[in-house]
Structure 1
């Protein structure tokens, strides 16, 4: 009868040393990796004491050991051996992965996937200390593979493999560096900048040719935008790489790039740079056109709101309405209707169709304090535009009480309270317009403008307040 000596299973098991065989037995016995008891029994029979002699053992011996007096069924034994071979492959992969830098990289990626940002930052600091050693190990590993495979595989393919591994290393390293800087900036914690500098310098000094690879360039300029010097120049380069190769990126790369691009534009817009307000909308429109705005088939509610608000500020109302209508179906079902009503109200307000905006306002459900606050702000502005002073005064009082009650809700309550105070003062000045001289009216407006500018407290939507003051002064031809 045929023995197991020349079977594929026996040949592979024989390549394990005694320690590895015992580790494999523990692996197979673990219910996490294997829930099939007969496969575990087969492993124990072949590797456990007393040691099995594969030169004399047959499949019939296995059948008698595992199935006792049952009729021999070779198909059943073959199936068990195939299952054990599959487990051996998993064991080899798992055993190698535990000892490799790749395991740490995958762990970091999963930490980000589960939003474990604090843990990520802590673990990344540990791994980053050995970046140079890791690169050296990769190089040594590739040389070892070259020695083993050069007789069987063309050298061109091996060279390509080395380049691919190096490219993956730098892409992951740059991505982690970007994430580390972003977490540090968001949480306002100190990072070891030597880590980021080392990754940057290693690429530019030792592997500059990799900067010709689009995905490496993407993360290289991404890092410079969020952390490095000359950020505006780096922004233009990042945007160009993103535009030129946008159809090549994986979803994660796309998200990382356009998040940095948009965040940069928003920061510039907040400094009063109107060019970047329009630039932000153009980038969103490009991403929407390329169908990259969706993640897992959905659009985030905050993104949906931001895009429409930007389009309104740029007075692209027809496009805003089309986007709101076309993309509402990609919102999560539980927020779909409410987000659509809120943004329809917002568009109508910016179009100065105040009565229609107030009509839709009744349909907005206050599912969060953020929605409630934003809706109330639009209501205040509409009452101001319509010169409904009594309604405005009541709404201001109501909103102030709301902010005091929800002070710990995450709203910028202090900024909004300052906004309420200045809007109330502006409304009172406008109410007096008919009973004071033009000179005094102008003096009151200028005094309020100076007060807002000199305020030590940040004012919500200060730009809108200044615009309204300037509009009043413009009626007199003086501001």
Structure 2
């Protein structure tokens, strides 16, 4: 029997939340159905067992005859209460939401002294020097809106705070739109997703007319990110973004700073892909800084892409001892599914850079690569070694397996172009006749001028061998 949706939700609860949910169900303020605490007790005692509809119903509704419609209604009500509990818990933990609703209730009840006292407390929660996020601007706007409604309901001749409310709403909206634009741009580059984000030209024009908007760190930081990542790609814009992250990161939620670090890192990696090798050091510094401060961990795990990218950057910088230490110190932070395969793969990359081709092939043979980046990365290492060893039959077979894989897997994003170019150039390399200088120089020139191909130095070395013969 399929596990009820409500029980699936309960599986995500911590033990402390289960206890609090029981108190919630026992409270007449939230629930007056006696069967609900009994149902929770049954689940706690039998959570590991396959669900039994009749046993569940009997435990929650003793003495009542089992009917399917009653059973499904029981589960539906229980699920609704579980969702209400989560919403209530989130509300209890959100002081800003508490004051937003409290102020509205006090204003509607004409409780002027209590409204003013609560407004003072609410404003104290939103100190600009401590909280730079766009959400703080949104909360400040809500406070000004409640203040306006309060003034308007008591004395319509009195000057209002509409200007402050409007300015805060503009700042919040501009910061959020710029943030969404940066995230959408990154997704479009990495995953080939398409987004249409409106109003950005108007926001840019408004910021030029009203530079005071940049006094809000959320607007300042996301405007700098937009300029660096989406618009110009200029190093000056990137350095401003780097500076603003360093200055203001303590005032933003961890998730937002994580996104900003990744956007800055993506800028560096794109610059690297276009041949600007100076950004390898900058990208690795950003990774180290954000990892040290815990921004890059997701649910306590180090993402496999982060692990792999850091190794690639360090190898590019020839930090071989650093790579060996990094693999040893951080492999246990990977998700269980990657704790063997990814360290083997990155160790194989290190072995290749050190010239130990036998170890490269040994490690690659151990890797069970289900993820595209791991499969294609492993095959690329094998391809390079086999080309250098002039095992042309094996190279031909490997190229065909990679071609078939790329044909079947469309989910490799912008990396797809690189791998297709690798296959194309390697095929042409196999067809070169040693000493045929016109064909050799033609291929070398094409490789040299092709963008988004990350194996240029290696491919050019292979081509040059054809000249020397």
Once the two structures are TM-superposed, the CA of residue 442 in structure 1 deviates from its matched residue by 4.8
Q: In the aligned structure 1, how far is the partner of 2:140 from the partner of 2:409?
A: 47
Give the TM-score normalised by the residue count of structure 1: 0.58
Note if 1:170 corresponds to 2:171.
yes
Distance 1:142 1:446, change over 3 A: same
What's 2:443 paired with?
A: 448
Deviation per CA, 1:121-180: give whole Å up to 9, x if none. xxxxxxxxxxxx99988644334457999xxxxxxxxx9xx9899769735641343214
Distance 1:453 1:349, change over 3 A: closer
The structure 1 residue matched to 2:289, chosen from 286, 291, 295, is: 286
CA contact (8 A) 2:229 2:264 kept: no
Distance 1:213 1:164, change over 3 A: farther
Q: In the aligned structure 1, how far is the partner of 2:233 from the partner of 2:420?
A: 37
Note if 1:196 corresponds to 2:200.
yes
* Counterpart mapping for 1:145-224 below 5 A: 170-171=171-172, 173-180=174-181, 182-183=183-184, 186=188, 187-192=193-198, 195-200=199-204, 205-206=209-210, 208=212, 211-224=214-227
Give 3-state SS (helix, strand or coil) of 1:407's partner: helix
Give 3-state SS (helix, strand or coil) of 2:425's partner: helix
Note if 1:395 corresponds to 2:406.
no
Give 3-state SS (helix, strand or coil) of 1:274's partner: coil
Q: In the aligned structure 2, how far is the partner of 1:399 from the partner of 1:406?
A: 11
What's 2:363 paired with?
A: 360
What's 2:119 paired with?
A: none
* Structure 1 residue runs of 4 or more that deviate by more than 6 Å after TM superposition: 92-95, 133-138, 146-149, 162-169
Once the two structures are TM-superposed, the CA of residue 342 in structure 1 deviates from its matched residue by 1.0
Q: RCO higher in 1 or 2 (8 Å CA, sep ≥ 6)?
A: 2
Distance 1:471 1:306, change over 3 A: farther
Structure 2: gaps of 5 or more residues: 1-26, 35-87, 106-137, 155-160
Note if 1:302 corresponds to 2:305.
yes
* Counterpart mapping for 1:253-264 below 5 A: 253-264=256-267
Q: In the aligned structure 1, how far is the partner of 2:300 from the partner of 2:330?
A: 11
Once the two structures are TM-superposed, the CA of residue 190 in structure 1 deviates from its matched residue by 3.5
Q: CA RMSD in A?
A: 4.5
Distance 1:302 1:345, change over 3 A: same
Distance 1:228 1:148, change over 3 A: farther
CA contact (8 A) 2:258 2:290 kept: no
The structure 2 residue matched to 1:325, chosen from 309, 322, 328, is: 328
Matched length: 339
Structure 1: gaps of 5 or more residues: 1-30, 39-85, 101-132, 150-158, 434-439
What's 1:35 paired with?
A: 31
* Counterpart mapping for 1:378-417 below 5 A: 378-385=381-388, 388-389=389-390, 391-404=391-404, 406-410=406-410, 411=412, 416-417=419-420
Distance 1:174 1:463, change over 3 A: farther
Q: In the aligned structure 1, how far is the partner of 2:350 from the partner of 2:418?
A: 24
Q: In the aligned structure 2, how far is the partner of 1:309 from the partner of 1:164?
A: 48
Give the TM-score normalised by the residue count of structure 2: 0.59
Distance 1:237 1:453, change over 3 A: closer
The structure 2 residue matched to 1:312, chosen from 302, 311, 315, is: 315
CA contact (8 A) 2:273 2:454 kept: no
Deviation per CA, 1:301-338: give whole Å up to 9, x if none. 11111111111112111112222221111111122111
Once the two structures are TM-superposed, the CA of residue 287 in structure 1 deviates from its matched residue by 2.0
